[in-house]
Amino acid sequence: MMRKRTPQRYSPVEKVEIFEKEFLPHIHSIYNFAYRITFDEDDAKDLVQETYLKSFRFIDSFEKGTNAKAWLFRILKNSFINEFRKKNKEPVKIDYQEVEAFYNSDEVNHMITSNLQVEAVKEMIGDEVSIALNSLELDFRTVIILCDIEGFSYEEMALILDVPIGTIRSRLHRARNLLREKLRKYAGSMGYK
């Protein structure tokens, strides 16, 4: 999908056609993702604008008809990381070992499953699910969004995030355990049975 390839040489007309027909159709997905990682509409707009302008500037690196959506998400991810570095803000790093030890334990898997009911999840409204998702740490929130909302495959996610597929699997596993736990707590506090 995003293998190294010989740069293309598109005419101006071809460039505009690719931009309009292959890049712009994904703008709402891109914006939605940008908003979910920045939590700010202005920051999301800036990030999306930077992503699309870069995509146009480097359009000769893109092979027409291939996975534009994944390509755009990768550009956005890199832009986001660079923005953090520019502002000297490192994304919050979490102690994965500690989280893994807890959330992969037998006891927690049983507890979380048996105490959160399907009916409770179905009764939740969007805001409640949103709060639970937004409270996840960035790396976990990202994989949930890319997989469950945007429908990327594990391979695509690995290329977008520039990590091994094994990391995607384990990160998704932990993210889903964390999300279930947050939904369980929320359901309990709201009196869902």
Partner 1 sequence: MKNVERPCPDHEKCFHVINLVIDGEANKEEEAFFYKHVRDCLHCAQYYKLEQSIREAIRKKLEVKEAPEELIVELRRKVKDSFLNPSDDVN
Binding site for partner 1 (CB under 8 A): 12, 16, 19, 24, 27-28, 30-32, 35-36, 41, 44-45, 48-49, 52-53, 56-57, 104, 106, 109-110, 113-114, 116-118, 121-122, 124-126, 129-130, 133, 144, 147-149, 153-154, 172-173, 176, 179-180, 183
Alpha carbons 99 and 151: distance in angstroms, whole number: 26
CA distance linking residue 133 with residue 127, whole number of Å? 10
8 Å CB contact between 47 and 72: no
d(CA 151, CA 73): 12
Residue 162: CB atoms within 10 Å:
12
Residue closest to 165 by CA, chosen among 173, 176, 154: 154
